[in-house]
Amino acid sequence: MKTRSFTLALLSAGVLVALAATPVLAQTSSTTTTSVTTSREATRLGTEFTSFAGSDDNAQALVHGLRNGSPITLTEPATTVGGSATATTFTPDTGKMGYGNVKIALSLAEASLTKAGISDPTSAELAAALNGGTLVLANGTSIDLKGVLAERAAGEGWGQISKNMGFKLGDVMRSPKHAGEVAEHAHHQEHSKVERVELAHGRNNDTASHPDRVSKVDRPNRPERPDRPERPDRPDHPDHAGRPGG
């Protein structure tokens, strides 16, 4: 009888231990599932924007930084033999975002650069499209980019931001590059090569060196008005001839 009671006690204890462990196992399983899903989503988005970002590493840096609101460092290889790679670092103006918003932000940035005639952007041009900046062209003109994230941080909705840029959001989400090309052709824009990029000087732009601003062109002095010619003296009236026979 005692043996049977002891056995029942052991079984009861085992059941209690198993029940106590069940929530922990469920929580661990849930966390693992969420982590795997998040990783897959980040990888998918990174792959989608690899061409736009210039490399897989840059694409993943963009997705990770936009998702977590953390600093983003984009690099581009040296353009000359023996040269060094160029790095641009900036922090998103928006803070943390969901993956859906990350995709919209990158799509609008790509469309805005394509509209400006830039299909293979540099790291600095990518930063300007997202946080705002000015593209200074080789012919002396410039293109101001308000920045997708800067407008979002100011409280604008995605639809309004897209409209401000001259796009329909649905068209951009279907193909950001195509939407940009259509807008470029509609405006008959022929852009010169970008000579340098001036990033917006906000608190979240951490680029190590900022290019000097373009000096303001002095307005030409207005030509002085020529003096009015003096009015010629009026000739004296001749004396009236006397009447005949006077």
Residue 235: its pLDDT value, please? Answer: 57
DSSP state of 138: T
Q: Containing H/E element for 2?
A: helix 2-48
Give the separation between CA 167 and CA 152, rounded to whole angstroms: 16
What is the rounded radius of gyration, in angstroms, for the C-alpha atoms of the chain? Answer: 35
Which pLDDT value is given to residue 208? 43
Residue 5 lies in a domain: no
Q: Supply the pLDDT for residue 213.
A: 39
Average pLDDT over residues 2-23: 52
Q: Which stretch, 12-16, 123-127, 136-140, has highest mean pLDDT?
A: 123-127
Q: How far apart are alpha carbons 92 and 61 in whole angstroms?
A: 12
Residues 6+ apart with CB under 8 A from 207: 88, 89, 90, 124, 127, 199
pLDDT at 216 over 50: no
Residue 163: what pLDDT? Answer: 94
**DSSP output for 168-206:** -HHHHHH-HHHHHHHHHHHTT--PPPEEEEEE---TT--
149 vs 212, residue with greater confidence: 149
> Is 224 inside any structural domain?
no
Note the pLDDT tens digit of each residue in 62-120: 999 999 999 999 998 887 888 888 899 999 999 999 999 999 999 999 999 998 888 89
DSSP 109-129: HHHHHHHTT-SS--HHHHHHH
Domain that holds residue 154: 36-76+84-199
Is the model's pLDDT at 26 over the cut of 80? no
Residue 144 resides in a domain: yes
Q: Is the dihedral of CA 121, 127, 132, 137 positive or negative?
A: negative
Answer yes or no: are the C-beta atoms of 58 and 74 closer than 8 Å: yes
Percent of the chain, pLDDT > 90? 43
Residue 102 lies in a domain: yes
Q: Is residue 61 part of a domain?
A: yes
pTM recorded for the entire structure: 0.65
The predicted pLDDT at position 190 comes to 52
Q: Which of 15-19, 46-50, 142-146, 237-241 has the highest mean pLDDT?
A: 46-50
Average pLDDT over residues 18-25: 52
Cα–Cα distance, 26 to 17 (Å, whole number): 15
In the chain, the number of structural domains is: 1
Whether residue 121 is contained in a domain is answered as yes
Of the given ranges (103-117, 140-154, 230-244), which has the lowest mean pLDDT?
A: 230-244
Determine the average pLDDT of the residues in 161-175.
Answer: 92
26 to 21, 29, 64, 132, 140: CA distances (angstroms): 9, 5, 27, 45, 62
pLDDT band per the 50, 70, 90 thresholds, residue 232:
low
Predicted pLDDT of residue 3: 54
Q: Helix (H) and strand (E) counts for the chain?
A: 9, 5
- Can you give the pLDDT at residue 227? 58
pLDDT tens digits, residue range 177-212?
887 777 665 555 555 567 677 777 654 555 444 434
Residue 61 has pLDDT above 60, yes or no: yes
